[in-house]
Structure 1
């Protein structure tokens, strides 16, 4: 009777162990499948889930066979070794897919753990001989706790290394790249998207890694933001002068790609602001100041908040393309910036974006009467003697949304002045000859406003009257 009761207790404890062991195993499988492995059908995921649990059941039964006092230890050792090896193989294949290389490594890992389990005699439980006071137990347990922490850290490190070995090649590359990004972020070091200086890649095409990260990464990824930061640092500073000089290569393809990745976010900002402003207008004038103060149009505010959340990306784009355009005045030996039409596209996009942001802030832009723009060559830039300015200011200027818009407008004005200061003499000559609109305003439809309004705003910048 006593042996029957003890046998029932052992069986109940084995069932409890299997139930509790299945819970973390299921969580590990679900997290691994949903976050790392993708592209499987529901049927394949279900079959993998069942096979994974069968491998865990086999492994748990083998541990129970070793630990049970009812069976001979010598007979249970081969069972333990074989079950652990097969369980490792099935688990690896269930998680990473059918792959002979992955399966063999899972088999070897399971077999190695079985040998380690037997060598350390992990089935033997150690209990304290006598009870001690809590303080004494705490004092005596510090060394063992430190040792255990180091062991667990080493095990976690080895486990993560095994994951990199088991995963397919493209997953392996992504994890290594993510680890490299984490190191740069944690150590506050700027990531440089360039081959080592002096290498063959640096001599032939040093801009390709940076452009690939800018063009191919997802819009909200950390990779894209790090690439924009690196591009901004290269264009604004003289630390990596050789990388900026590579943008002005003879074919002009690299410069066009750099200009495109910088202008695209600004064009989207101007066009989306324009769409929102058109939806909130009354047909005569933009009533944006009313929108900023009133909560009756939450749809408009949500769209604007969404746009201004990318304030840092817009800032880097404007500063980058403005600095690169200004440096092209002296560093562009082949004239690719002017010949490709990028200068006109940059000025037009920056001014259109500034007009959109200013209109969103509550300033109403309008064309001046033609006599103010007439002169010997048909052009005369506006001066402070003009009676009515081209803006109408709203009543209220507060709130986080307006603060970001004000900062964005300041960045855009600074960027435009950076280009105007570098090309001031050329722009003045074009203005006197009546060629300012032809050389510095794009021929297409701007993302916001009209070509005449962009020209009038550029004339204000030429006279340093834009504010």
Structure 2
């Protein structure tokens, strides 16, 4: 796995190289087409340009490296060590943003006499305000969190699609920085040795150049997001014998041996999900169903692990929720417990993307096993019952987080589109139900839709067998594990599965609902 991980890390070298090339290009483009319209070059202009171009390049590389360090922190075993390191990283990031802002604005907006002390201090102040605002906004909005796109597009197309949003963010940032820095310089407005017209032209030039710098920073951030979330194919080297003997080993080793929650592990889960759902490289998916069944067990195990962790964390968080406190006084008295439980529920959805990919992967593999599993390893290994039980248990835990009860109800009015959204009790709901616009509710509803669509995909593939088992009274024997589920009971899991058997969902309906849900969440 080490050579594969080194190959994966080469994308950062390529990204740094692209930044190394684009920075001087933008700088000299600005000097040739914008700078000469507002300023008259001096005799020291050539030497000055080289110095400013170097500082512009240095500040851009510093910003890009700080983005990498902040987005991919090293794991620590202790919670206090992690919090302390996180706080120190934030402070260092703000200092780097402030220093990069000073270098950016001074090198980009300086006139023909940059070493004039008043002008240099004014530009340095604007750069400091600009860089600090960018850093504070970046940390406040948690923009270091990588968001994987629903559709993987070519690199150039992805970068171009980010231009409109970069322009909007750049105008907001540059306008805020310009207003704040201008207010800070109000005590010294009349000491500028220039006419009113020259002052107006100079302010317009500074605002335009600051907007260009802000746009470049936003595009750098968007480019960093695009490069970080690109797909990576975890295949063995072509010159080795692994592609014909065990092509799944590099992918499974990357998931099992990599650092938890690392970008390397995320890309491995994404590749596994694409193999399971796509019909482009069917030979890679067929390798999962090898004769011994060990590979299929490993695939199902690594995919069920995030779902089991989500179910356990939701169960722990729901234990502290005051579901029975209906009056206002009791809710106020229990506010510390509510906040703590709410925090634990939020933390449970930190791995929302991994859980989503895992649910889609196991559902697709289980549905494909009906036609592609020549040796019957999916059924004989007992993985089918484990997959169905884990998905149902996780869905019930998510519904409990949303305040939905799990009592049996009359199923005559349920349809394939709302069967997993059905609320079985109109009574009191959990305390989190009142926060319908919160991030917790958005991710909980999104996770419920993903789990529901995954279960529907399995039911659609094995509908006839499940229907016969339900009529014969052996539905729980074939599709539910014998041990106690992580959440709820076996009887409720069987009842929930029977609700999905009422009406057979179509694949187009499930795919359309899942794509709409992911676009809404992200």
- Bucket of the pairwise TM-score, normalised by the shorter protein: 0.5 to 0.7
Indicate conservation of the 8 Å contact 1:367/1:452, yes or no. no
Give per-residue Cα distances to partners, 1:143-198, cap 9 Å, x unaligned. Answer: 75499789999xx9xxxxxxxxxxxxxxxxxxxxxxxxx99962864111112468
Report the alpha carbon displacement of residue 364 of structure 1 after superposing the two structures with TM.
Answer: 1.1
Distance change >3 Å, CA 135–CA 399, structure 1 → 2: same
Q: Report what 2:293 is aligned to.
A: 252
Structure 1 residue runs of 4+, over 4 Å off? 142-153, 182-185, 196-199, 281-285, 293-296
Q: In structure 2, how many angstroms separate the alpha carbons of the residues matched to 1:261 and 1:392?
A: 37
Q: 1 CA distance for matches of 2:268 and 2:468?
A: 37
* d(CA) in 1 for partners of 2:499, 2:472: 17
1:390 equivalent among 411, 424, 446: 424
Cα distance in structure 1, aligned partners of 2:336 and 2:57: 57
Q: Which residue does the alignment assign to 2:234?
A: 193
Q: Deviations over 1:192-220 (max 9, x none)?
A: 11124685110011111111111111212
Q: 1:345 maps to what in 2?
A: 386
Deviation of 1:225 (Å)? 0.6
How far apart are 1:226 and its partner, in Å?
Answer: 0.8
1:402 deviates by: 0.7
Question: Is 1:423 aligned with 2:462?
Answer: yes
User: Aligned pair in 2 of structure 1 residues 202, 452: CA closer, same or farther (>3 Å)?
Assistant: same
Q: Does 1:270 align with 2:311?
A: yes
* 2:339 matches 1:298: yes
Whole-Å separation in 1 of the counterparts to 2:453 and 2:413: 20
CA distance in 2, matches of 1:246, 1:340: 16
Residue in 2 that maps onto 1:311: 352
Indicate which of 425, 429, 436 corresponds to 2:475. Answer: 436
Q: Find the partner of 2:373 among 332, 336, 357.
A: 332
Q: 1:255 to 1:142 in 2, by over 3 A?
A: same
**124, 136, 141: which one pairs with 2:42?**
136
Q: Aligned equivalents of 1:457 and 1:244: distance in 2?
A: 30
Secondary structure of the 1:246 match is helix
* Structure 1 position 278, deviation (Å): 2.5
Are the equivalent residues in 1 in contact too, given 2:402–2:441 (CA < 8 A)?
Answer: yes
Q: Which residue of structure 2 lines up, in the alignment, with residue 410 of structure 1?
A: 449
Say whether the 8 Å CA contact 2:318–2:345 is kept in structure 1: no
Report what 2:99 is aligned to: none
RMSD: 3.7
Q: For 2:239 and 2:274, how far apart are their aligned partners in 1?
A: 20
CA distance in 1, matches of 2:491, 2:40: 83
Give the whole-Å Cα distance in 2 for the aligned partners of 1:244 and 1:450. Answer: 33
Q: How do 1:370-381 residues align onto structure 2 when only pairs under 5 Å count?
A: none
Give runs of aligned pairs for residues 24-63 of structure 1, distance below 5 A. none
Aligned counterparts of 1:281 and 1:296: Cα–Cα separation in 2: 8
User: Distance between the aligned counterparts of 1:455 and 1:444, measured in 2?
Assistant: 13
> Any idea what the Cα deviations from partners look like across 1:381-414, whole Å, max 9, x if unmatched?
x5439xx973447463332111110111011000
Q: Distance in 2 between matches of 1:333 and 1:359?
A: 39
Aligned equivalent of 2:284, options 217, 227, 243: 243
TM-fit CA distance, 1:327? 0.8
- Between the aligned partners of 1:460 and 1:196, the Cα distance in structure 2 is 47
* Residues 203-247 of structure 1 deviation map (CA, whole Å, 9 limit, x = unaligned): 011111111111111212111111111111110111221111100
- Residue 316 of structure 1 deviates from its aligned partner by 0.8
Tell whether the 8 Å contact from 2:405 to 2:423 is kept in structure 1 after alignment: no
Is the 8 Å Cα contact of residues 211 and 257 (structure 1) preserved in structure 2?
yes
Q: What is the CA deviation profile of residues 21-60 of structure 1, one whole-angstrom value per residue up to 9, with x for unaligned ones? A: xxxxxxxxxxxxxxxxxxxxxxxxxxxxxxxxxxxxxxxx
Could you say which residue in structure 1 is the equivalent of 2:361? 320
Q: Which residue in the other structure is 1:227 paired with? A: 268
Give the TM-score of the pair, scaled to structure 2. Answer: 0.50
Q: Which residue of 2 aligns with 1:454?
A: 493
Change (3 A) 1:241 1:142: farther
- The aligned residue for residue 279 of structure 1 is 320
Structure 1 residue 313: deviation in Å?
A: 1.0
TM-score by length of 1: 0.56
Task: Give the direction of change, closer, same or farther, for the CA distance of 1:189–1:138 in structure 2 (3 Å limit).
Answer: farther
CA distance in 2, matches of 1:408, 1:432: 31
Q: Name which one, 1 or 2, has greater alpha-carbon Rg.
A: 1
Partner Cα separation in structure 2 for residue 402 and residue 465 of structure 1: 28
SS, match of residue 442 in structure 1: coil
Check the 8 A contact 1:248/1:255 in 2, yes or no.
yes
**Is the Cα–Cα contact under 8 Å of residues 322 and 338 in structure 2 kept in the other structure?**
no
Structure 2, unmatched stretches of 5+, are 1-38, 63-222, 415-421, 506-512, 514-522
1:358 aligned partner:
399
